[in-house]
Amino acid sequence: MKNNMVLHEIKPVYDKDSRILILGSFPSVKSRESGFFYGHPQNRFWKVLAGLLQVKVPETIDEKKSMLLEHHIAVWDVIASCRITGSSDSSIKDVIPNDFTWMLSHSHIERIFSNGAASWKLYEKYVFQKTGIQAKKLPSTSPANAAYSLEKLQECWRGILEIL
């Protein structure tokens, strides 16, 4: 598999009432194919959030967007484009970060959370100095993070509820 330059084509989800921002690193192959965040069927992102928010797990893109916006949650990724092999965060090179200026100036985002260590490291390296908002690192909801059960992930992610 080649390490190709790939452009992030999924628009961020946010509105003027968004209070927290959850960041991934870059969309997986499955997310790029589905055209929306956390598109791999084994990724536990939607189950974790739905459990914390005590709502039904959303299935469609419209249901996912509605759940996020109804609970004042914004979602995006740190990277606008990069060289990547498949979905491997460890293969990411030649990073061009997303510009968060517009989103932050047109919302009420108070806190930023990173979904995993890779997004946190990328945010710290490329974005933090521009936003001045410290990101809190949360364990990844990726299926590759098998050390965390769904219950353990929800326990670790519970802190987002303090802002909502």
* Phi-psi region at 56: left, alpha or beta (left = phi > 0; alpha = psi -120 to 50): beta
- The answer to whether the Cα torsion of 45, 46, 48, 49 is positive or negative is positive
List the chain domain ranges: 4-162
Q: What is the mean pLDDT of residues 134-142?
A: 97
Structure tokens at 118: 């890779």
Between residues 89 and 11, the one the model is more confident about: 11
What's the CATH fold of domain 4-162?
A: Uracil-DNA Glycosylase, subunit E (3.40.470)
Whether 4 shows a pLDDT value over 90: the answer reads no
pLDDT at 156: 97
Structural contact between residues 74 and 68, judged by C-beta atoms closer than 8 angstroms: yes
For residue 31, the number of C-alpha atoms closer than 13 Å in the C-beta half-sphere is 24
pLDDT in tens, 33-73: 999 999 999 999 999 999 999 999 999 999 999 999 999 99
The burial class, CB within 10 Å (0-12 / 13-18 / 19+), for 153 is: buried
